[in-house]
C-alpha cells in the first residue's frame, strides 16, 4: 500500500522570513502600551539570570506585562490582521495557485501547499492576511482561563523543536492528538522531504535547514535587502559560506520575477517533473505487456 505523494510543501519561518518585523513589536506592543526595549531586556534577563529558554522567557514576560489586561486569543487574532509582510505577499499565494504548475502536473493531482513553523504566536498569524493560504500554522499558543483570557503557555515551539513539525508535515500528522513519533514507512508519508522547500532567515532555522537538506529537500535563506546595517544579509551569507547550511540565498522579495520567486518556481517545477517521471516509471513497471504473436 502507498499514498499518492503528489504534494509539494513550501515551509516558512515567520519573523524576518515572511515579514521584515517581529510580530510582537509590530502589533502587540503598540496595542498594550508595552515598551519594546524594556520588554526584550526583561526577556534577556530571564534567559541570562534565571536560565529560561528564550521562547518561554518571552511568553512569561508577555503574561507579566499584560497582568490585569490579559487579552483573549480571539483578540490576539484580531491584532494579527495588522501584520505586514515583505513585498509580493500575500499575492504570491494566489499567483502560485494558478500560474505555476502545468496541465500535465495538475492532471496527476500535483499541488503546492504552504506551511508556517514559527516560535512566535500562532494566534497572531491565524488572524493575519496570509492565514487563508496556509495549510497549517505551527506556533506558540496560550491557554485561556475560565473567563477566556490568556493565562499560561499551552504550546512552546523553540527553534530546536521546529524540526518536529517538519516531520508532522512529512507524515501528514497535522493534528496534535496524533503522535509524530509513530512509525510510518516512507511510501505512506504524504509529503516526502524531497518534495519540501524550507524558507528561513538565520541561525534559528539551522536545524530545519539541516533536516530538510539531509533528506533531499531544498533550503533557501532570505535576507532583508532594506536592512542598511547588513546584519540580515550577513546572517544569510554565513549560512552559505562557512557553515554550508543552505545552497541558496535571496532577498526577501516575493514578487513575481524576483530572484526568490525564480528559485521557488524552479524548485517547484523540478519537483513536479520528478513526480511525473516517477509516476510514468511506476506505470511502466506494473504494466504487463501483451504477448506478441
Ligand atoms: Mg526568523
Ligand 1 centre from 54 Cα, in Å?
Answer: 14
Instruction: Tell me if 59 is assigned to some domain.
Output: no
pLDDT at 134: 98
Measured distance CA(274)–CA(193) in Å, rounded:
13
Measured distance CA(172)–CA(216) in Å, rounded:
18
Q: Which domain holds residue 199?
A: 7-21+86-286
Ligand 1 centre from 61 Cα, in Å?
Answer: 20
Ion ligand 1 — residues with CB < 5 Å: 13, 15-16, 201
Model confidence band, residue 247 (pLDDT cutoffs 50, 70, 90)? confident
pLDDT at 233: 94
What number of other Cβ atoms are within 10 A of residue 3's Cβ? 13
Ligand 1 centre from 176 Cα, in Å?
Answer: 23
Measured distance CA(100)–CA(169) in Å, rounded:
22
Ligand 1 centre from 117 Cα, in Å?
Answer: 10
Ligand 1 centre from 223 Cα, in Å?
Answer: 10
Instruction: Tell me if 65 is assigned to some domain.
Output: no
Instruction: Tell me if 36 is assigned to some domain.
Output: no
Instruction: Tell me if 108 is assigned to some domain.
Output: yes
Ligand 1 centre from 201 Cα, in Å?
Answer: 5
Closest CA to 58 of 75, 80, 36: 36
Sheet holding 7-12, edge to edge: 150-155, 136-144, 111-121, 7-12, 196-200, 218-223, 248-251
Lookup: cell for 62: 508577555
Ligand 1 centre from 256 Cα, in Å?
Answer: 22
pLDDT at 43: 96
Instruction: Tell me if 28 is assigned to some domain.
Output: no
Mean pLDDT for 69-86 is 96
pTM for the whole thing?
Answer: 0.94
Instruction: Tell me if 114 is assigned to some domain.
Output: yes
The domain that holds 212 is classified in CATH as 3.40.50.1000
Measured distance CA(43)–CA(56) in Å, rounded:
9
Number of domains in the chain: 1
Instruction: Tell me if 247 is assigned to some domain.
Output: yes
Q: What is the pLDDT of residues 7-56, one digit of tens each?
A: 999 999 999 999 999 999 999 999 999 999 999 999 999 999 999 999 99
Residue pointed to by grid coordinates 491584532: 79
Instruction: Tell me if 42 is assigned to some domain.
Output: no
Amino acid at each position: 500500500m502507498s499514498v499518492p505523494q503528489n504534494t509539494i510543501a513550501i515551509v516558512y519561518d515567520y519573523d524576518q522570513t515572511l515579514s521584515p518585523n517581529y510580530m510582537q513589536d509590530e502589533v502587540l506592543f503598540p496595542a498594550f502600551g508595552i515598551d519594546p526595549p524594556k520588554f526584550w531586556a526583561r526577556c534577556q534577563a530571564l534567559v541570562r539570570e534565571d536560565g529560561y529558554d528564550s521562547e518561554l522567557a518571552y511568553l512569561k514576560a508577555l503574561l507579566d506585562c499584560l497582568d490585569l489586561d490579559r487579552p483573549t486569543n480571539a483578540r490576539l487574532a484580531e491584532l494579527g490582521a495588522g501584520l505586514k509582510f515583505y513585498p509580493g505577499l500575500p499575492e504570491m499565494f494566489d499567483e502560485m495557485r494558478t500560474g505555476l504548475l502545468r496541465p500535465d502536473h495538475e492532471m496527476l493531482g500535483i499541488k503546492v501547499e504552504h506551511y508556517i513553523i514559527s516560535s512566535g504566536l500562532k494566534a497572531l498569524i491565524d488572524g493575519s492576511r496570509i492565514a487563508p493560504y496556509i495549510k497549517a500554522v505551527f506556533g506558540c499558543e496560550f491557554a485561556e482561563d475560565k473567563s477566556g483570557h490568556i493565562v499560561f503557555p499551552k504550546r512552546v515551539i523553540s527553534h530546536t523543536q521546529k524540526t518536529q513539525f517538519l516531520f508532522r508535515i512529512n507524515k501528514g500528522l497535522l493534528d496534535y492528538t496524533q503522535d509524530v513519533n509513530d512509525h510510518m514507512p516512507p511510501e505512506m508519508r504524504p509529503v516526502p522531504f524531497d518534495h519540501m522547500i524550507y524558507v528561513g532567515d538565520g541561525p534559528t532555522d539551522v536545524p530545519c535547514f539541516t533536516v530538510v537538506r539531509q533528506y533531499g529537500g531544498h533550503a533557501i535563506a532570505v535576507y532583508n535587502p532594506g536592512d542598511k546595517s547588513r546584519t540580515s544579509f550577513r546572517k544569510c551569507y554565513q549560512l552559505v559560506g562557512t557553515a554550508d547550511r543552505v545552497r541558496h540565498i535571496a532577498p526577501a522579495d516575493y514578487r513575481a520575477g524576483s530572484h526568490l520567486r525564480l528559485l521557488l518556481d524552479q524548485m517547484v517545477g523540478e519537483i513536479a517533473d520528478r513526480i511525473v517521471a516517477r509516476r510514468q516509471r511506476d506505470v511502466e513497471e506494473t504494466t504487463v505487456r501483451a504477448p506478441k504473436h
